[in-house]
Amino acid sequence: MAAWSPLEWPVLRQVLTGDRTGRGAAVQSARTRQIESRNATADRVVQSVCPFCAVGCGQKVYVKDDKVVQIEGDPDSPISRGRLCPKGSSSEQLVNNPLRQTKIRYRAPHATEWTDLDRDTAIDMIADRFLAARRHGWQDHDEHGRPLRRTMGIASLGGATLDNEENYLIKKLFTAAGAIQIENQARI
């Protein structure tokens, strides 16, 4: 620790720095003065939208060496005008969390362990199950012969992290497939 100097006496600092009320530079510790904002070290800033909920607050993503170093509210957003709630403010931890899953994980029926799957295999498995469930739950007519042309084998429940465009596409896809139970957490 550096030796204490009389010049560090708070009252003297208030006089010398012009911070008469002691609410600015005069009351900063040496350690605080050495701290540099993560924003200051970023080499670029990218505008984005918070992924957590349907409010869609604007974000400024600070990037250094192609790595996200900080995320803050975007004052240019007409929705949030620079504000983020605690979840949105912690988005940087969502990106850089060492526990973040970056691989597709699969636990087979009756298995006790998870295994990694490559993306093509996972998509094929999902498509196979989707088609089988659609076929299995298909209803062509009701008991009076009236046309139904729907499947009761598929339901969709979206989460609040889905945005308008994703919800639009999900609704289109599932309705075209004949599903009628299409819901979203925000509506429930």
Q: How remote is the C-alpha of 49 from its chain's centroid?
A: 9
Residue 42 or residue 50: which is nearer to ligand SF4 going by CB? 50
Residue 88, phi then psi, degrees to nearest 5: -65, -35
Residue with Cβ nearer ligand SF4 (88 or 153):
88
Phi, psi angle pair for 106, to nearest 5°: -140, 130
Closest to ligand SF4 by CB, 51 vs 178, is 51
> Alpha helices, DSSP H only, in 74-140?
86-89, 91-96, 119-136
Q: How far is the CB of 93 from ligand SF4 (least distance, A)?
A: 13
| Residue closer to ligand SF4 (CB basis): 161 or 175 | 161
* HEC readout, 33-58: HHCCCHHHHCCEEEEEECCCCCCCCE
Rule CB under 6 A: which residues touch ligand SF4? 50, 52-53, 55-57, 80, 84-85, 87-88
Q: What's the min distance (Å) between Cβ of 183 and ligand SF4?
A: 20
Q: Given the structure tokens 């409010």, which residue do they identify?
A: 55
Region of 54 (left: φ > 0; alpha: ψ -120 to 50; beta: rest) is alpha
Nearest distance from C-beta of residue 48 to ligand SF4, angstroms = 11
Min CB(66)–ligand SF4 separation in Å? 24
10 vs 75, beta carbon nearer ligand SF4: 75
**Cα–Cα distance between 83 and 60 in angstroms, integer?**
11
Least distance to ligand SF4, CB of residue 92, Å:
13
**What whole-number distance in Å separates Cα of residue 76 and Cα of residue 59?**
9
> What is the SS3 assignment for 126?
helix
Q: Which is nearer to ligand SF4, 19 or 92 (CB)?
A: 92
Nearest distance, CB of residue 161 and ligand SF4, angstroms: 9
